[in-house]
A and B are shown apart, each in its own frame.
Chain A
């Protein structure tokens, strides 16, 4: 009876997020703000220039910070990357 109504969710997948307001400070701490502002960073998937406006997400890989832009095709490639456990949420 109890089980029928109460289904607690015990395990949760943690997703780290950064708010627009904190983005610049956070990138500065990672030592990447200047590079982003100067257009020196490319999207990990499409290689387009990353700007403060088009950042979708970023993650650590091989000792560096990789950025993904907000194009639909790059989001799809990112989903596949997550599928394959190449990066963790």
Chain B
């Protein structure tokens, strides 16, 4: 009993220590809280109002970047830094810096400010390398989908403004974009939009170095087919065996392997290793291994991956748990899923003469 009292006496210090450590590890949360506090004084202080706006946008976008980074570990996280221009800035500085200046409205319009700033950030940062090869509709739809997810995660009350001002008019004006958006929604329901779709797009952007005119039509076609492939995969019923699980085209080579038909848990890993060998022989660069996030199954998946990675010279690039809504007897059931990514170490890259000349001239 005395020990408990001692601990209770210590607890204020411990609690404070935990809070300090938590905020050191999560500076974005500090910014979000600070924006809320400053917002209370925004009506009487211009300085507080500016701080509130800046910290709200930076804190929430950077918090989302961290969430995104957990699903896309191979992507270098790039945050957002809001910089107020000085009203005394001279014309020369404006032209020297050569940067866009966004107008930020007074505090009551913060949802508008947030959507405008974060949309610019998304356009600039997401799939930066690949975008030059994608069609306008593909680019727009991916940006809009990522922006929608960002708002759902970190700024729900700005969704209405985003939907009515940007998303709905864009979807109404472009039926192809609307179709793509529906497909992303289905892919996202099964949790594959970020860790599989965007991951593959990021890898694709990092391995193609062709002049965009030559290769662009092919990439547009492959990306379109890949979206349909993932949509069909996400639309399959549990246990449905006739859905394609491999995507083998000119630039994208990946496969999805489900581990854990219940009867196989605890069994020999060899059948799965043989299946992986078959995928390796077919030059699959990325093998996404998916299964129920149950302790025994995760252990089983790890055994398979450890063995296969060493045997076939692949590396395990990512593992993570996520929630997915899978189809069972026509309706979606929420389950916890575990995903591991086995990636070929020596991935084929595609260069053309123009690119090689450009790097030789650097």
Contacts and interface: CB of A to CB of B under 8 A. Distances in A.
B99 A88 contact: yes
Contacts, number: 154
A88 to B, nearest CB: 6
A38 interface: no
Interface stretch (B102-110, B218-226, B240-248): B102-110
Contact of B100 (A11, A30, A63, A87): A87
B80 interface: yes
Contacts of B91: 29-31
A11 B120 contact: no
B103 A60 contact: no
A50 to B, nearest CB: 11
Contacts of A63: 95
A15 B83 contact: yes
Interface stretch (B162-170, B310-318, B343-351, B353-361): B162-170
Given A17-B102, A56-B116, A80-B139, 13 more contacts: A9-B62, A9-B79, A11-B79, A14-B99, A16-B102, A17-B83, A20-B104, A23-B103, A26-B101, A30-B91, A58-B101, A89-B99, A89-B124
Interface of A: 5-7, 9-23, 25-26, 29-31, 55-60, 63, 65, 72-73, 75-76, 78-80, 82-84, 87-89
15 contacts: A13-B78, A15-B83, A17-B117, A18-B103, A20-B106, A25-B88, A29-B89, A29-B94, A57-B100, A57-B101, A58-B100, A72-B166, A83-B124, A88-B99, A89-B121
